[in-house]
Amino acid sequence: MANPLEIIKKKRAEAINSIMSKGYLSKKRVYVGMATCEIAAGSKDVMDVFKSAIANGLTDVYLSQKGCAGRCNLEPTVEVIEEGKIPVKYCKVNKDMAKDIIEYHIKKGEVIKDWIIK
């Protein structure tokens, strides 16, 4: 019988594999804040925009929710992470901004600097 540490090692490897298989290694990873506070600020709408974009054929993006990072006055927040680059953190995102983020940042690679948390 394997000891607990060995079991957990295996579980961790399985977990990482499962995340990878969902497309974690995609070019861009998008995280939308989904805690009570962020949902109250409107992050559900933003999440829906990203979800429907992926349903409508946006590829090579890994979409995930996340908890509250603690920036109450700037919520909802959206992070776009690319391997090897400084993660881009957008604040006070609404539906229309989310569409622009998809159009400019995710499709064309142009970071929208005005909306970044300083």
Residues near other proteins (CB under 8 A) are 1-5, 7-8, 11-12, 14-16, 18-19, 33, 35-37, 39, 64-73, 77, 79, 81, 83-87, 89, 117-118
Please identify, using beta-carbon distances, which residue of 58 and 91 lies nearer to other proteins. Answer: 91
**Residue 1 vs 55, nearer CB to other proteins:** 1
86-93 long-range Cβ contacts below 8 angstroms, 24+ apart: 88/116, 89/116, 89/117, 90/115, 90/116, 90/117, 91/115, 91/116, 91/117, 93/43, 93/46
Nearest to other proteins of 58, 68 (CB atom): 68
